[in-house]
Amino acid sequence: MKEIGILNRAIAKIISEQGHGDLLMVCDAGFAIPKGIEVVDLALAPNKPMVMEMLTELKQYFSVEKMILANQTKETNPTLFKDVAGSFGEGIEVEMIDHTELKQKSHEVKAVIRTGDFTAYGNVILVSGAGERWYCEK
């Protein structure tokens, strides 16, 4: 029986299927998820779980080279923006786009993890990347 790591089998599967450059979205409770995209719905109740809780857990098992956030996140909820932008550590690129463009970009993700977060514009697209485990001679 699995007792450590991400216990949710659907999320564990999604992470294991991500390759370099693939897109994974973590979204708030109200995001309009495109039809046909694989979804893991974790929304239990209002604000349970929160986007930041999901990102904190993902960071332990998932390598990210870039995050894509809506300009409206920074404008509307600057604390959330700061927390999300720093959630995978320093040196991770943060690309800012309009929320309308983020909705279009969501059609390219391999999967979406939907939270119960009711923080406006609490959506982030994670671009899978090579983590610190990779050996590079130069």
Cβ of 38: how many Cβ atoms within 10 Å? 14
DSSP-derived letter for residue 89 is -
pTM of the shown model: 0.95
Q: Do 121 and 71 touch, CB atoms closer than 8 A?
A: no
pLDDT at 45: 97
Query: 9, 20, 82, 107: which is the annotated catalytic residue?
Result: 20
Mean pLDDT by 10-residue block, N- to C-terminus, for the chain (138 residues)? 90 96 98 97 97 96 96 97 95 96 98 98 96 76
Domain residue ranges in the chain: 9-128
CA nearest to 46, candidates 128, 135, 117? 117
pLDDT reported for residue 138: 76
CATH assignment of 9-128, among 3.40.1650.10, 3.10.20.30, 3.30.70.370, 3.40.1350.10: 3.40.1650.10
Q: How high is the pLDDT of residue 84? A: 97
Say whether 20 is catalytic: yes
